Structure 1
């Protein structure tokens, strides 16, 4: 391979017709028409997540998402569950740092019904007081479950160490104290202040009548709040360390660096660099530290980006007695990353990224999500051709520059969880990383 991928060779098979409209009230409606499938996925994305919260109401976006399924003006929680089950398909919602998404995937003949139910729970939830108390217990159980899952909770600790007392440094679930004390009035007011046509994107992908879909969505949202919403404050990567002692058989380890925003010109360099370092069985970390040395059960790298900042990091799960030896090998690999990157591994990393992008074209859920995310992040649709063109620009030199840029900072983030007695201190690891 020569590192250049002709996207049209792949995309001719996936005939797609993207259309979008921004209404006077700010609502974005975007569609992806696919004749060859029997399903349709509809997403309602609100550009409101945990980073829109304050320290005092951290966790409210996630709580609000849960309450959407607990009754509307015309449907009880039981009615909602029964109507969903009657048409089959998939219905759910999730909250992230930057958005809350409600979605349904159904057969094409059931789209109208799915729209009716999904928009009803989005627009007309009553936040019933009795249902709120029941859901409070459910969310507390979710919080406790996350705390009992080391490879989940360690990433919350990592975010806290990387961003400190900023929204990006706080858990999406919030605190136990907040969940126990949230009132219905707070929930209603937050919905009124943060849910608006101004920050909502409705997308659909699949086999359906696009004009009819636009008409239905416009009708459903015509009387919805169109006020301006509170925007998040810019985030700033800080770095630091956080060590949590817990009697676990396996240690959890995270080492992070300041990364780049997804608006950065070199965003795809950071993504491909992560794949080369620890993005699969052929990656450097997996081969050198797991396969050749057998020191870890799991090791990988990641590049997480927001509109204003980002984090580049390495995660490992291992026996705590091997942690310093693993750090020695890891720092060697990080140094090597700034000096020696070859075309073969770049081609391999590009192939991994491109296959993921193109294989997702076979799924209406992935395509609906891609549309809504594009508008949420960039204010327009980003085509696969455009993405592949950016990937093709990545070179040995641009990756070397990115590696040096990321690893040249001294404000690393070091996070551990487990029964760890003797780990190099923060400054020693900083010294090991200097080049």
Structure 2
């Protein structure tokens, strides 16, 4: 599939993967997330995401729903630490309707007071659902431990107290500051033309681009914290454990090596080292995983597992031992070849999901200003060496530098 890109005078960037398909995909990515909130506004970016569907200058919340749902379309959005994504899937015959609606939402949302009064309660219910799920809640608290005092640390949803403080006036101000075309990407896949996308986007965002500016929150230096162990008494039926540290950023040249190491340790495959050791050989855990999340100026590497309380200590020791083994013992050429073969297969299967590949295209263009296509990724994977993996493991897998968070 060939990709076309364009930057408009307003600064809005467009990327299109054109194909003759009965279903098309359209998204708007905005380079703003929870890390751009001030200290007393936690949950603001996520609250705005909810409110984007609650009415514009041209359409009420009901009209937005009817315009999309009436033709079988799906309208979605999500917020992360550094981005907000608004996107839709729809029959290609209704692509211009979808363009109008999405651009209207991103350009003219008005944040009515009566809608926020209702949506605030929905978000608080969402917060409570997380509190009832320790396997999800622990990830939010762990990031706050690793990035304590930094805007990256706090939970995307905020807290019940912080959400209660938010007003529609704050939402409008934040929206006006960050939902600017120079911070946005319009991305599409399906039966569009670049001329079509350009015409609608230029009508929505006429004029010249403003200088792109990061917020003071994003520019704040990252904290230098000593590793520590935090234990929370949650009275759960099992222990939930996260072990990890800060890691490479999205732009680090060794980012792909760390991704491969995370996949070897605790990726989706049942043959991942930690799954084989903790579950298959020892029967200590039901689930163990390893995650690497890159951000624009740092990253997070973490291992999570849930176990019985009696197995917790042994499982922790085995995780730390496996990390030290990777740090001390380089992979063989045969192990590297097997790991690359598995990762390539996983990427190939993942690319079969049009929705996921479409979102990956938008996210890549938003943050990297280009789309890293499969051929380029495969070439980069082919450049990974056992020496390079060993150097990454030696640098990052010093277990004396790992934070620990335990719910029991």
Same fold at TM > 0.5: yes
Alignment of 1:27-426 (within 5 A): 27-35=12-20, 37-222=21-206, 226=210, 228-231=212-215, 232-233=218-219, 234-236=221-223, 238=225, 239-279=227-267, 280-338=269-327, 339-408=329-398, 410-418=400-408
SS at match of 1:169: coil
Instruction: Determine the C-alpha separation between the residues in 1 that align with 2:230 and 2:48.
Output: 30
- Larger deviation, residues 91-100 vs 219-228: 219-228
CA RMSD of aligned residues (A): 1.8
Give the aligned length: 402
CA contact (8 A) 1:32 1:367 kept: no
SS at match of 1:152: helix
Instruction: Determine the C-alpha separation between the residues in 2 that align with 1:224 and 1:417.
Output: 52
CA contact (8 A) 1:206 1:364 kept: no
Q: What CA deviation, in whole Å up to 9, does each residue of 1:258-287 have, x standing for no partner? A: 321121111111011111111120011101
Instruction: Determine the C-alpha separation between the residues in 2 that align with 1:262 and 1:225.
Output: 25
Q: What CA deviation, in whole Å up to 9, does each residue of 1:382-410 have, x standing for no partner? A: 22222111111112111111111112373
SS at match of 1:75: coil
Instruction: Determine the C-alpha separation between the residues in 2 that align with 1:302 and 1:362.
Output: 22
TM-superposed deviation, 1:237? 6.2
Instruction: Determine the C-alpha separation between the residues in 1 that align with 2:196 and 2:349.
Output: 28
Instruction: Determine the C-alpha separation between the residues in 1 that align with 2:140 and 2:248.
Output: 20
SS at match of 2:289: strand
- Larger deviation, residues 245-254 vs 301-310: 301-310
Instruction: Determine the C-alpha separation between the residues in 2 that align with 1:286 and 1:50.
Output: 33
CA contact (8 A) 1:70 1:131 kept: yes
TM-superposed deviation, 1:331? 2.0
Instruction: Determine the C-alpha separation between the residues in 2 that align with 1:61 and 1:246.
Output: 29
CA separation of 1:150/1:237 partners in 2, compared to 1, >3 Å: closer, same or farther?
Answer: farther
Which 4+ residue blocks in structure 1 deviate beyond 6 angstroms?
none
Instruction: Determine the C-alpha separation between the residues in 1 that align with 2:10 and 2:385.
Output: 43
Q: What CA deviation, in whole Å up to 9, does each residue of 1:231-273 have, x standing for no partner? A: 2125446343332211110111011033211211111110111
Instruction: Determine the C-alpha separation between the residues in 1 that align with 2:314 and 2:365.
Output: 45
TM-superposed deviation, 1:141? 0.5
Alignment gaps of 5+ in structure 1: 1-15, 419-435
SS at match of 1:48: coil
CA contact (8 A) 2:244 2:404 kept: yes
State the match for 1:26 in structure 2.
Answer: 11
TM-superposed deviation, 1:207? 2.5
Q: What CA deviation, in whole Å up to 9, does each residue of 1:35-74 have, x standing for no partner? A: 3x32111110000001111211111000001001111122
Alignment gaps of 5+ in structure 2: none
CA separation of 1:193/1:224 partners in 2, compared to 1, >3 Å: closer, same or farther?
Answer: farther
TM-superposed deviation, 1:344? 3.5
Q: What CA deviation, in whole Å up to 9, does each residue of 1:298-324 have, x standing for no partner? A: 111111111211122211100111111
SS at match of 2:185: strand
Instruction: Determine the C-alpha separation between the residues in 1 that align with 2:232 and 2:243.
Output: 14
State the match for 1:11 in structure 2.
Answer: none
TM-score relative to the length of structure 1: 0.88
CA contact (8 A) 2:12 2:183 kept: yes
Q: What CA deviation, in whole Å up to 9, does each residue of 1:9-57 have, x standing for no partner? A: xxxxxxx12111111221101111123x321111100000011112111
